[in-house]
Amino acid sequence: MSLKLQPTNVHLIEVRLKSEFNDAEGAAALALLREQGLSSLKEVRTGRLYEIAGSLSANQAHQAGKELLCDAVTQEFRLVSPAPAPMNGMNCWRVEVWLKPSVCDPVGATVIEAIAEGGLPKPAAARCATLYLLNGRALKAQIEKAMIKSLANPLIHHVVVTEAHS
Amino acid sequence: MSQLAETNPASFPILGKSTKELRVLSDSRHLSLSDAEWAAIQAHYKTLKREPSLAEIETIAQTWSEHCKHKTFTSPIRYTEGKKTRTIKNLFQETIVAATGALKKPWCLSLFKDNAGVVAFGKKWALAFKVETHNHPSALEPYGGAATGVGGVVRDILGVGLGAKPVLNTDTFCFGRPDWTGALPEGSHHPTRTLRGVVAGVRDYGNRMGIPTAGGGIWFDDDYRLNPLVFCGTVGLMPRWAVKKEVKPGDLIVTVGGRTGRDGLHGATFSSANLGADAPSSAVQIGHAIQEKRVLDALLAARDKKLYGSVTDCGAGGFSSAIGELGASCGARVRLEAAPLKASDLDSWEIWLSESQERMVLAVPPKNLKALETVFAAEGCELAVLGEFTKTGRLEVTHHGCVVVDLDMGFLHTGLPRAERAAVWNAPASVKPAGGASKKPSEALREMIGHLNVCSREWVIRQYDHEVQGGAIVKPLQGVRHDGPGDACVIWPHAATGDMEDFSCFAVGHGLNPDYGRIDPYWMALAAVDEALRNLTCVGADPARAALLDNFCWASPEDPKQLGALIRAAEGCRDAAKGFGAPFISGKDSLFNQSKDEKGKDLPIPGTLLVSAVAPVPDGRKAVTMDFKGPGNALYLIGRTNDELGGSLYHRVLGRTGGEVPKVSPAAAIDGFKALHAAMTRGHVLSAHDLSEGGLALCAAEMGFTGEFGCLLDLDECPRDPRIYSNETLLFSESPSRILVEVKPENESAFLRHFGKSAKSAMVRRVGQTTANPILKVTGLEGTTCLEESLKELKEAWQTALPKILG
């Protein structure tokens, strides 16, 4: 997922609840997706994605993730590399729900301000997405259909479904 | 030739185009302009001997939209009722405004002309109240649509007079049933998803801004499944000196708050058309509550320093509407390059028309600019000078030196052609109740108490912060376990004034029942006003000081039958206001709430009127809740029961049609409300609850299970039409203006004295008493028990209905 702004750097920071914590948002998402026919799903874990464009170096993006975007007690973060995800037999899926570029992203706007206030170079742009990690056998088309019926609205959202590491 | 014709590269040729060609233009740009409006625009530009610019056409379309100009309510209508036909010149003026004008209430400080209605609150303060709808956006994107609905109405309150501090949010919704299992057309959301999204949107915006959400309601009906209704309300507190605003030529045009982006284009024109699958994504936005909180804090600080002379919000139409309205009586010159933008590639017309959220426009004397900048900088809130107000009578907009709009204010605001519409109303023939299968009272009661239009809203209410600001005296959930259904909220707003010794409060109540409107919208309107006022009365508010708001949500007014029904409702409002002596102070209409269903047939919503009422509670310490307070207390029923089960919940659960719709007698009703209020102010009332859906049986059950005491009722003691011989009618009739009241035995005589002659004329009667055993037991007309139910079981049915569906 790219903002297509062609900035000098684009970093994708992923923030997730640590696995030992109960993910209430994930449980609610699981129930909604099951209602939409994905009955074989076993678990959904959620997270946030921040795509930050501008002159931040990788180290500075790491600092922003660690000190600003992540609660070190309950969450963990990583900088996501754009490497293609390996196939896993359709058992683990990664679903990213992004606001379309024409839609206002207040969280992204706040992230820009907060990074600058934290002493790092002010990003040129930042967008936020919701991440759903699905565990359970399903087809990509089924997931896409279920997502737009429950957790994403195609009018304002862009949904990216890929196979993921287990 | 004007400068525009010489310099503007983005002209929008319309001269010489046919009606058909203009319709295509209108559709492709979502302008919602009619043939007559195009003709007026063509004629105007013909006299100017030039083509309009795109920005001018967009400005005219936004300003002339139904959303902004309320064309249906202000244009002539040829109205046929039965065999009589008459012309209504201006429905709004002849009903709502006329009734309010006739009442001449000195405590009404600002009516209809500003962003909200304003009434006096004590000697130094005033309350501003506005309820907005955000229906079309919420149908497309429930979360974003509802959240920006809250943001919009909060900005209305910030933009009334010189600005008021929001102290209460209200929310009322109409949804399709969440257990809908039928098909839906492509692109529409299931009612459950709409409900979840709307509630989350209202929750997130209100909670993040630190405004309590403590009033409202939900109505479910399958005919809302494609067109949900989302009514967002806000009450604000302001000093009386801040009620008046004035723009002076030479004042700077200053925008504050959010930046301008491509989001939110065509919101006003989009709201003025039937909802279809081709809605633009730009009509939907995601709000930024924290940004609006900054605007709120900075604006009120600047108001108290008297740094600006006028303010309004950027709502539908963006700068074009806000600056156009502020400068309507003088003129305005705007330089768009000064506007802070979210993206640098916006076209001139996009900057001018964008409805990006969280923006306000101020008229600022130049000498105050520096101080204003300091105030807004302290809150981290952006500010920019866009131009100045003039005395040219023109709206002049440039972008980097190029003229993009040069419009005569007179044409913009008064050039709209008023097309006459036709309306028809045929009174329904009196039909005896028919159909459905009879049920035992106990069976019907259990079904009704778990009905979606009655059951507990705790699933929704608990998501809202109704405690923030520390002023919720009577909360939405009441009783010993804080989970019973309150009639209205009572708010003590003096955390904002700092006067800790002032115990004056205000209450907000609502009335809505579209099922009555299916029979006769006139009586629906009277019933809605009556319900809102009796809800206020039940908590201790003064019904003689109540002010009303109307929100009409209707299908297409181009259908003469729909328009006829709308006229009936408006005339009902007029008669209710006069009869109750309660003025309307503000309102809004949302029309074209209809869509193609899954079979391609038009699905209009039922004609819907929300009446919201606000009234002072003289002393919040004497406010009353609806839960029984103890055993052995007397129960009095105020108001007469008639055989009027048409449109009732009882008929709905039986599957029965026909019957008389409940009819209101405002004079008798207000007498009862005033007498009850007097009794409450003297501390003679322990609890009070209004009789609405489900009638006496549901009212008593709710009071019982909320207080965890039972009651014995004797139907033969009910004030009633002597021709009623049915226990079911007395148990479940929804005759308006009735309230069940709990009174201590030692206070009964004093209580009854407040009703004077009314008591003798059987307006108020002792109908039973409370008991320690939590059982609802009712003696029928024949002298034997006709209903005996465990309140614990009824409460369980009441509490579990919504969570069972929503999970």
Burial class (CB in 10 A: 0-12, 13-18, 19+), B95: buried
The C-alpha atoms of residue B499 and residue B240 are separated, in whole angstroms, by 16
Tell me the pairing of strands A92-99 and A157-163: antiparallel
Q: Which residues of B are catalytic?
A: 67, 134
Q: The tokens 């002159």 sit on which residue?
A: A55
Answer yes or no: do A156 and B193 touch at CB < 8 A.
Answer: no
**Of B676, B678, B680, nearest to B668 (Cα)?**
B676
Name which of B126-135, B424-433, B527-536, B728-737 the model is least confident about: B424-433
Q: What are the strands of the beta sheet with B472-474, ordered from one edge?
A: B472-474, B489-491, B505-511, B608-617, B547-553, B584-590
Q: Over range B326-340, report the average pLDDT.
A: 94
ipTM, two decimals: 0.87
| 3-class DSSP state of A115 | helix
| Per-residue pLDDT tens digits for A135-147 | 998 999 999 999 9
Helix (H) or strand (E) holding B604: strand B602-604
Q: Which domains does chain A have, with CATH numbers?
A: 9-163 (3.30.1280.10)
Residue B807 predicted with pLDDT over 80: no
What's the pLDDT score for residue B505? 98
The C-alpha atoms of residue A118 and residue A52 are separated, in whole angstroms, by 15
The CB density around residue B759, as the number of other CB atoms within 10 Å, is 18
What's the pLDDT score for residue B270? 56
Nearest residue on chain A to B355, judged by CA atoms? A104
B311: its two tokens: 């303010």
Q: What are the strands of the beta sheet with A157-163, ordered from one edge?
A: A75-79, A9-17, A41-54, A125-136, A92-99, A157-163
- Give the model's confidence band at A81: pLDDT under 50 very low, under 70 low, under 90 confident, else very high: confident
The C-alpha atoms of residue A104 and residue A128 are separated, in whole angstroms, by 11
| Per-residue pLDDT tens digits for B581-594 | 999 999 999 999 99
Which residue among B193, B285, B288 sits closest to A109, beta carbon to beta carbon?
A: B288
Q: Cα Rg for chain A, rounded, in angstroms?
A: 16
Q: Over range B619-629, report the average pLDDT.
A: 97
- Give the model's confidence band at A164: pLDDT under 50 very low, under 70 low, under 90 confident, else very high: confident
- Give the model's confidence band at B346: pLDDT under 50 very low, under 70 low, under 90 confident, else very high: confident
Contact B84, B382 (CB under 8 A): no
**Of B687, B673, B679, B680, nearest to B633 (Cα)?**
B687
Name which of A54-58, B162-166, B196-200, B733-737 the model is least confident about: A54-58
How remote is the C-alpha of B497 from its chain's centroid?
26
**Of B652, B636, B744, nearest to B699 (Cα)?**
B636
The C-alpha atoms of residue B512 and residue B531 are separated, in whole angstroms, by 8
Contact B174, B224 (CB under 8 A): yes
The CB density around residue B489, as the number of other CB atoms within 10 Å, is 29
Greater confidence, B795 or B287?
A: B795
Burial class (CB in 10 A: 0-12, 13-18, 19+), B785: exposed
What's the pLDDT score for residue B274? 55
Measured at the CA of B287, the angle between CA B477 and CA B297, to 5 degrees, comes to 80
| DSSP for B697-728, written as a single string | HHHHHHHHHHHT-EEEEEGGGS-B-TT---HH
Residue B496 predicted with pLDDT over 50: yes
**Of B304, B314, B336, B330, nearest to B256 (Cα)?**
B314
- Give the model's confidence band at B120: pLDDT under 50 very low, under 70 low, under 90 confident, else very high: very high
Share of chain B above pLDDT 70, in %: 96
Residue B405 predicted with pLDDT over 50: yes
Q: Over range B446-474, report the average pLDDT.
A: 96
Answer yes or no: do A103 and B284 touch at CB < 8 A.
Answer: yes
Average pLDDT taken over every residue of chain B: 93
Which residues in A79-110 are b (16+ Cβ under 10 Å) and which e? ebeeeeeeeeeeebbbbbbbbbebbbbbbbbe
The C-alpha atoms of residue B273 and residue B285 are separated, in whole angstroms, by 18
Residue B6 predicted with pLDDT over 50: no
| 3-class DSSP state of B535 | helix
The C-alpha atoms of residue B691 and residue B712 are separated, in whole angstroms, by 17
Answer yes or no: do A106 and B291 touch at CB < 8 A.
Answer: yes
CB contact, 8 Å: A109 with chain B? Answer: yes
Residue A5 predicted with pLDDT over 50: no
For residue B289, the chain A residues in CB contact (below 8 A) are 106
76-105 in chain A: CB under 8 A from chain B: 99-100, 102-105
Which residues in B129-160 are b (16+ Cβ under 10 Å) and which e? bbbbbbbbbbbbbbbbbbbbbbbbbbbbbbbb
| Per-residue pLDDT tens digits for B57-113 | 988 998 888 878 888 999 999 999 988 999 999 999 999 999 999 999 999 999 998
What's the pLDDT score for residue A6? 46
| Per-residue pLDDT tens digits for B171-207 | 999 999 999 999 999 889 999 999 999 999 999 999 9
What's the pLDDT score for residue B315? 83
Residue B634 predicted with pLDDT over 90: yes
Break chain B into its structural domains and give their ranges.
626-807
Which residue among A102, A150, A155 sits closest to B263, beta carbon to beta carbon?
A: A102
The C-alpha atoms of residue B292 and residue B313 are separated, in whole angstroms, by 11
Burial class (CB in 10 A: 0-12, 13-18, 19+), B49: exposed
B540 Cβ contact partners less than 8 Å away, ≥ 6 residues apart: B474, B490, B507, B617, B622, B623, B624, B677, B680, B681
Q: What are the strands of the beta sheet with B332-335, ordered from one edge?
A: B310-313, B359-364, B252-257, B383-389, B332-335, B394-399, B402-408
Residue B757 predicted with pLDDT over 90: no
The C-alpha atoms of residue B734 and residue B731 are separated, in whole angstroms, by 9
Nearest residue on chain A to B190, judged by CA atoms? A149
Answer yes or no: do A156 and B807 touch at CB < 8 A.
Answer: no
Q: Over range B441-455, report the average pLDDT.
A: 97
| Per-residue pLDDT tens digits for B547-566 | 999 999 999 999 999 999 99
> Following CA atoms B278, B283, B286, B287 in sequence, which dihedral angle do they give, to the nearest 10 degrees?
-160
- Give the model's confidence band at B7: pLDDT under 50 very low, under 70 low, under 90 confident, else very high: very low
> How far from B126 is each of B172, B506, B544, B640, B665, CA to CA, in Å?
24, 11, 17, 36, 31
pTM: 0.93
| Per-residue pLDDT tens digits for B285-302 | 788 999 999 999 999 999
CB contact, 8 Å: B208 with chain A? Answer: no
| 3-class DSSP state of B312 | strand
Contact B54, B12 (CB under 8 A): yes
Residue B761 predicted with pLDDT over 90: no
Q: Where are the alpha helices (DSSP H) in B210-276?
A: 267-270
Which residue among A31, A104, A153 sits closest to B285, beta carbon to beta carbon?
A: A104
Phi, psi (degrees; rounded to nearest 5) at B203: -60, -55
CB contact, 8 Å: A117 with chain B? Answer: no
- Give the model's confidence band at A86: pLDDT under 50 very low, under 70 low, under 90 confident, else very high: low
DSSP symbol at B357: S
Q: What class does CATH assign to B626-807?
A: alpha beta
Share of chain B above pLDDT 90, in %: 83
